[in-house]
Structure 1
Amino acid sequence: MLAAQAAADCRGQQIVILDMRAVSDLFDFFVIASGTSRRQLMAMAEEIDRVLTEKTHAVRLGIEGEGDSRWILLDYGDIVVHLFDPETRAYYALEELWSDAAPVQFEPRSPAVPVGTAEDEDTIAEEEDALDEDVPDEDAYTPEEGEDTD
């Protein structure tokens, strides 16, 4: 499912898809994912919206939780996306509340590296090293051609 993959592409964690068709007439699927920060939740919401709009021409009917909320809800009619921080997800426990819904198997095409793991720290270090290569050493000043150095 595109919404779940978009969440994975933004390092979403614990991504679950629930088939709601047998338990609700209002929507077909829930996509539930967690993020570790408000910024990550917003990035996931923006990416999911972009992907669904571009690839399926889905029209978002509503969005809730854009401010300081720790739960963002994107409503596309048949698909409802819930993005939580871990504490809020545990508190509302949608998977338990909707336990009659059938889980849908989902494996991201390229698994996200969980934020805060050693592998994530290595990736961040590699990215920072690559950025540092483009920054000249402060002590290695070379005057421009024709520049007066006195």
Structure 2
Amino acid sequence: MVKNKFALESTSISEIVVYGIQEKKGNDIVRLDLRNIHSSVADYFVVCHADSATQVKAIAASVEEEVYKALKQDPKRKEGLQHGEWILLDYIDVVVHIFKTEKREFYGIEDLWGDAEMQFYKSA
């Protein structure tokens, strides 16, 4: 029963994250469901990209703002804010990857987790 509560929490966080990305027009939003992959480090990865470092930073700020407004939760860890090429926001069970376009193509996160169920979202 407790596991279901945490699963619902991570699903809710991932949906709020997607909304925060959509608010700042993130491109090619994908939610990877990692819950059935035994070696996964989180329940979900949410991935998107933007064409400029400024937009990457704005998307990250929007995600943080929306999650905080809804759940009063800050990311446990943040990486990449200084350069804005690949920002990672770690909400423990949900990890958000916000890339600059060419960095997303280079790293191919979705390919690394090819066994994950993927859900695609449109920008708002």
TM-score by length of 1: 0.68
Show the counterpart of 1:88: 103
Corresponding residue SS for 1:18: strand
Unaligned runs of 5+ in 2: 1-14
Q: Could you list the runs of 4 or more consecutive aligned residues of structure 1 that deviate by over 4 angstroms after TM superposition?
A: none
Identify the structure with the greater helix proportion. 2
RMSD over aligned Cα atoms: 1.4
Cα distance in 2 for residues equivalent to 1:58 and 1:69: 22
Corresponding residue SS for 1:21: coil
Equivalent pairs counted in the alignment come to 109
Cα distance in 2 for residues equivalent to 1:70 and 1:41: 7
Residue by residue over 1:27-64, the C-alpha shift from the partner in whole angstroms, topping out at 9 and shown as x without a partner, is 11000011111110111001100110110222311000
Show the counterpart of 1:8: 22
Query: Which amino acid in 1 is paired with 2:63?
Result: I
Residue by residue over 1:112-149, the C-alpha shift from the partner in whole angstroms, topping out at 9 and shown as x without a partner, is 3xxxxxxxxxxxxxxxxxxxxxxxxxxxxxxxxxxxxx
Cα distance in 2 for residues equivalent to 1:44 and 1:89: 15
Identify the structure with the greater strand proportion. 2
- Using the TM superposition, give the Cα deviation of residue 25 of structure 1 relative to its aligned residue in structure 2, in angstroms: 4.6
- Using the TM superposition, give the Cα deviation of residue 93 of structure 1 relative to its aligned residue in structure 2, in angstroms: 0.2
Higher relative contact order (CA closer than 8 Å, sequence separation 6+): 2
> CA 1:4 to 1:93, structure 2 compared with 1: closer, same or farther past 3 Å?
same
**Is contact 2:57-2:84 (8 Å) kept?**
no
Show the counterpart of 1:20: 34
2:112 is the alignment partner of 1:97: yes
Query: Which amino acid in 2 is paired with 1:44?
Result: I
> CA 1:7 to 1:68, structure 2 compared with 1: closer, same or farther past 3 Å?
same
Query: Which amino acid in 2 is paired with 1:14?
Result: D
Corresponding residue SS for 1:40: helix
**Is contact 2:28-2:120 (8 Å) kept?**
no
Cα distance in 2 for residues equivalent to 1:59 and 1:68: 21
Q: Percent identity?
A: 33
Query: Which amino acid in 2 is paired with 1:20?
Result: L
